[in-house]
Structure 1
Amino acid sequence: MTARVIIVGAPRSGSGKTTITLGLLRAFRRRGLVVRAAKAGPDYIDPAFHAAATGTASVNLDSWAMPPEYLGALLRQAAEGADLLVIEAAMGLFDGVGDVAGRRGAAADIAARFGIKVALVLDVTGQGQTVGAVACGFVHYDPAVGIAGVIANRVASTRHRNLAEQSVSGIGLPLLGALMRDGAPNLPERHLGLVQAREHANLEVLLESLADAIERDLDLDAILDAATPLAVTPPLAPVAALPPPGQRIALAWDEAFSFVYPHMLREWRDAGTEIARFSPLADEAPAHDCDICWLPGGYPELHAGRLASASHFLSGLRSFAQHRPVHGECGGFMVLGQSIEDAAGTAHEMAGLMDHRTSFARRKLNLGYREATLLIDCPLGPQGTVLRGHEFHYATITPGEDAPLAMLADGLGQPLGAAGGQRKLVTGTFFHAIARQTG
């Protein structure tokens, strides 16, 4: 294994991790390095930007949802053939759930378990010498988590940069760079995070601009030197996150349906499964020679009117469900129901294959890790299978009479009750599966 790896972490969300990660990925790629990327924790949107910046699929690494042996195997696979692997942390570096050491879902778990150093991104707005005090706290909070240096973000001036450098050098850390306040373009956001990569008409221009800023303001040689050579022992036997639910899978894939974890798609393909993508927004139906139809999450609420008028898609989906399984996750689950009410209060008729209705006119944030125990045999696995994943949506639901799919608990193990639904060959849930639990 020749790859070097580094984690880009920060004290909190909004510090600039994604901006700096994307700029680093493209800047190192410009140098001719084989660059790979990963995201610590549950996230669909950032990995799509990583893929655009590197030209290769990114991957999620989640210490809470993924069993340790699987996490190591996935990390090793992500770094295979690369010169550099950059892992973007989620939220704050130490943020996670519970008190099980190494399985809290924090990027710090990955840093400690695999000996990977962290480039600490600090938003220095309104700070001078205090930057060193903040960095000092990160250095000493957990001795198992090594801090390689500081990247100062949103720096106002050369004097401001010098103050930051003096303060961090005073505690023995190098300043790996200082991104000026107006030095990089902003990434637009919406209610589940960044606007999706596929929606940026000028994404290449954006990535090149980010790389320009990173090359100007950061010390790429120092960052590369700080990256840790990766040494991960391969598992004794292959471990799968979620076995393929069929030999040929009809996968909805467009601006409304795109939240599928790359590690699952790769494993399904490696197992010999054929993925047949179709676009509901283009009024395409699932191919009837497929074994199963999978409707992933995404933003169907933003396209509810188009989906309601996609008669070929809806009739084809209903026909498919008469003879073959259909499963929906989050946004896909919404579309399987009776209707979606948009933010303006207009109800749009959906597939009607399940009994529930969802609404965005009465928004409520549902966010957190989830552990699901399946109550029935379904595309996620046989009855009794335990899966870990997450839930992240703003929809409210009016439940119907469908049988429940799973019993849920939160990240701390507190019971949340029955969730999801099943009617004949159709199943769905707001729960996004990341990995089954083994042992």
Structure 2
Amino acid sequence: MRGLIISAPASGSGKTTVMLGLARALSGAGVAVQAFKSGPDYIDPAFHRAATGRASWNLDTWAMGRDRIASLIHGGDGAIALAEGSMGLFDGVATAGLSGTGATADLAALTGWPVVVVLDASGQAQTTAAVARGLATFRDGVTVAGVILNRVASPRHEALIRAGMAEAGLAVFGCLPRNAATELPERHLGLVQAEETGDLDARLDALADLARAYLDLAALQGAARPCSLPPATVPPVPPPAERIALARDAAFSFIYPHLIAGWRAMGATILPFSPLADEAPDPTATACWLPGGYPELHAARLADCATFRDGLAAFAATRPVHGECGGYMAMGAGLVAADGTRHRMAGLLGLETSFAKRRMHLGYRVAELDAPHLPPRARGHEFHYATILSQPDAPLAQVWDATGAGVPETGSRRGQATGTFFHLIGEDA
């Protein structure tokens, strides 16, 4: 599968809107697009799926080995791969993981896919070319195929930037004008989720219209190159049980798509239920999984969901229940919302968390876990703003960050109820 990587010098440059517009435009023209996301992001893949009609997979060089990445790439069925980068092109952690530092550039070097750099041209002209040339020459083994200029103010502005790019010897695949209507709504953990964006199809169609009008789609397809990684087969991360009750709604949706696909590939049955609809886990399930999400935005509603709370407690009396981040908080005794109001949670664990005292927790994690339904050693990612007020139960894991330093967010366990603040990406090699 030929591929391109859509990256940028920094977050906020417009790579997600470019990625979605390009993916939607090519898909609308009958091109089978297989989308990927570089790094630990559980929101963007849902937008990719909406744009292309195909599941999008995370490719994470810190948390995944070369063979795992190869198996996900070669398992795709598209004619062209579009991989959206994260942060800036060379931004990763200080210590390499299983196949890199998590930087988009590591994925580019690993796959041989050329990079298309999205440049925010606002506030500069020819200097944009200096930035692009610096990115193109910074690291051997990373090929920059060209640039897409975003937020261009006028034809004169465009002409000045194009002159700079010609001098730098870099191709320009298109120039997008300033257009606030292309922005997608955001909140504190990133974009508002795809399933919560009621006019998503209209927004994607508008982005596709811009791509068709302002981007050279034929040249972009021509710049794509085959993946240099040879095919590989790697067993998926084992499922926690044969029948998994999976919480799935606006409050609980942060789970990596490759995990669910892998569980299904290993014969597990996924049984979705909605805590926000006051549903209990399916009684025929043999384990329950509460992903992360936004319980803090729905805390008052969750506190009133007695059927969910009682059903979860009954389930946990005989079978494993595991929560990640938001799911872990929902399993606790209470959650203090941003306005200072405490709301009752499920009470499977004694955890008390607060969003009135916000503090960002962000980074890769390695953990040794002590629970039969979880991998003994795992890699994941933590990203939340909650403060722990109390965590009285026994720790679930020993947890380290990407540098090997221990972190205090060890998760906890009580009986068959377990929870962590980090999201599982895969097993540690």
TM-score (normalised: structure 1): 0.95
**Which residue pairs with 1:211 in the alignment?**
208
Q: State how far apart, in whole Å, the 2-side matches of 1:322 and 1:169 are.
A: 68
Q: State how far apart, in whole Å, the 2-side matches of 1:153 and 1:14 are.
A: 11
Q: 1:142 to 1:342 in 2, by over 3 A?
A: same
Q: Deviations over 1:197-224 (max 9, x none)?
A: 1111111100000000111111111111
**Which residue pairs with 1:377 in the alignment?**
371
- Describe the SS at the equivalent of 1:388: strand
Q: What is the percent sequence identity of the aligned residues?
A: 51
Q: Deviations over 1:281-324 (max 9, x none)?
A: 11110011100010000001100111110111111001101110
Q: State how far apart, in whole Å, the 2-side matches of 1:6 and 1:183 are.
A: 26
Q: State how far apart, in whole Å, the 2-side matches of 1:343 and 1:401 are.
A: 23
**Which residue pairs with 2:158 in the alignment?**
161
The answer as to whether partners of 1:405 and 1:418 remain within 8 angstroms in 2 is: no
Q: 1:23 to 1:418 in 2, by over 3 A?
A: closer
Paired residue for 2:328, among 333, 350, 375?
Answer: 333
Q: State how far apart, in whole Å, the 2-side matches of 1:189 and 1:100 are.
A: 30
1:387 maps onto 2:378 in alignment? yes
1:348 maps onto 2:311 in alignment? no
**Which residue pairs with 1:136 in the alignment?**
133
The answer as to whether partners of 1:184 and 1:210 remain within 8 angstroms in 2 is: no
1:14 maps onto 2:8 in alignment? no
Q: State how far apart, in whole Å, the 1-side matches of 2:316 and 2:192 are.
A: 32
Give the 5 Å matches for 1:130-279: 130-182=127-179, 185-235=182-232, 237-240=233-236, 242-279=237-274
The answer as to whether partners of 1:152 and 1:179 remain within 8 angstroms in 2 is: yes
Q: State how far apart, in whole Å, the 2-side matches of 1:296 and 1:264 are.
A: 12
Paired residue for 1:422, among 382, 407, 413?
Answer: 413
**Which residue pairs with 2:101 in the alignment?**
104
Paired residue for 1:298, among 293, 297, 319?
Answer: 293
- Describe the SS at the equivalent of 1:294: strand
Cα displacement (A) at 1:426: 0.4
Cα displacement (A) at 1:232: 3.2
The answer as to whether partners of 1:369 and 1:391 remain within 8 angstroms in 2 is: yes
- Describe the SS at the equivalent of 2:130: helix
Cα displacement (A) at 1:386: 2.0
Q: State how far apart, in whole Å, the 2-side matches of 1:100 and 1:387 are.
A: 16
Q: Alpha carbon RMSD of aligned pairs, Å?
A: 1.3
Q: State how far apart, in whole Å, the 2-side matches of 1:418 and 1:193 are.
A: 22
Q: State how far apart, in whole Å, the 2-side matches of 1:81 and 1:340 are.
A: 43
**Which residue pairs with 1:40 in the alignment?**
38
Paired residue for 2:397, among 403, 406, 420?
Answer: 406
1:66 maps onto 2:60 in alignment? no
Cα displacement (A) at 1:68: 2.0
Cα displacement (A) at 1:418: 6.0
The size of the alignment, in residue pairs, is 428
Q: Deviations over 1:6-36 (max 9, x none)?
A: 0000000000000000000000011101111
Give unpaired runs (5+ residues) of structure 2: none
Q: State how far apart, in whole Å, the 2-side matches of 1:81 and 1:254 are.
A: 28
Q: 1:434 to 1:137 in 2, by over 3 A?
A: same
